[in-house]
Each structure stands twice: as C-alpha cells, then as structure tokens.
C-alpha cells in the first residue's frame, strides 16, 4: 500500500537509555512513522538503507500489519523494491561473462598481425 508520511522518527535507544538489541544480539534502529492514511497512529518498523532518506511528505510503499492495538510496517523485499530479482542478477552475470569471453577472443585476434585483414584498395577513391 502506498502511504504519505506525515512524521518520521528514528530511535536507537529505549526510553530507559538501553540500546535496541535484536535476537542475534546486534543493535538496530527503530523507525516510527505516521501517515495521512493512518492519522495519529504510529506505525513501527526497522530502519534500513532503503528507508534512510524517508522524510515528511514522501510517498512510500509499505505493508501494514495490525498487532493488537499496534500497527507494524514492513517494506517489500530489497530485490523487488530495487526492481531486480535474483534471476535478473544471474542473467546479467552470464551476459558479462560472455562479453568478457568475446573481448578476450577479439583481443587475441587483433594482437596477432596475421589475423588482421589487409585494407581493400578499392575503399579509397583515386584522386
């Protein structure tokens, strides 16, 4: 769902001053947002690279999930939000490998003088 941000808040520490820690023991940044569509209710999620530049007035694509009286949000998977999937990346890698192989073949052909075709004399007009 696309929403318009009205407030954005990033927090690395709880009210008691302790850092937010994930289940793996690593610190994280909590991202709270308010939207035009949800009024004064805060939606909670995680800060990451894709949403680091979010500011009031931005229109963003999120998924909202209700957990009791709270609203949580998540973002589309990174690959989809960037417009590239794993299949696209793999296909691009195969194309890059083929281009490199062609480049090496052409380079080998041109570096050996016997492989370079002589210029046809009829290419240049006689003046």
For 8-57, what is each residue's pLDDT tens digit? Answer: 999 999 999 999 999 999 999 999 999 999 999 999 999 988 899 999 99
6 CB neighbour count, 10 Å cutoff: 15
- Residue 30 has what pLDDT? 95
pTM for the structure as a whole: 0.58
User: Two tokens at 55?
Assistant: 């500011």
CB-based contacts of 32: which residues, under 8 Å, 6+ apart? 7, 8, 9, 10, 11, 42, 43, 44, 45
Q: Predicted confidence band at 81 (pLDDT cuts at 50, 70, 90)? A: very low
Best CA proximity match to 62, nearest among 3, 122, 121: 3
Residue at token pair 């998977």: 77
- Residues 90-110 have pLDDT tens digits of 888 889 999 999 998 888 888
> Quick check: 116 pLDDT over 80?
no
43 CB neighbour count, 10 Å cutoff: 22
Give, rounded to a whole angstrom, the gap between the first and last alpha carbons of the chain: 72
> Quick check: 72 pLDDT over 50?
yes
């Amino acid at each position: 769902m696309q929403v318009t941000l009205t407030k954005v808040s990033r927090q690395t520490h709880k009210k008691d001053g302790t850092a937010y820690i994930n289940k793996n023991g690593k610190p994280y940044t909590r991202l709270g947002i308010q939207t035009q569509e949800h009024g004064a209710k805060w939606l909670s999620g995680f800060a990451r690279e894709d949403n680091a530049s979010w500011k009031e007035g931005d229109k963003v694509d999120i998924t909202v999930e209700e957990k009791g009286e709270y609203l949580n949000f998540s973002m589309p998977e990174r690959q989809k939000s960037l417009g590239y999937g794993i299949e696209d990346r793999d296909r691009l890698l195969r194309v890059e490998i083929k281009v490199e192989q062609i480049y090496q073949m052409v380079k080998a052909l041109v570096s050996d003088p016997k492989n370079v075709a002589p210029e046809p004399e009829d290419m240049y007009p006689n003046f």
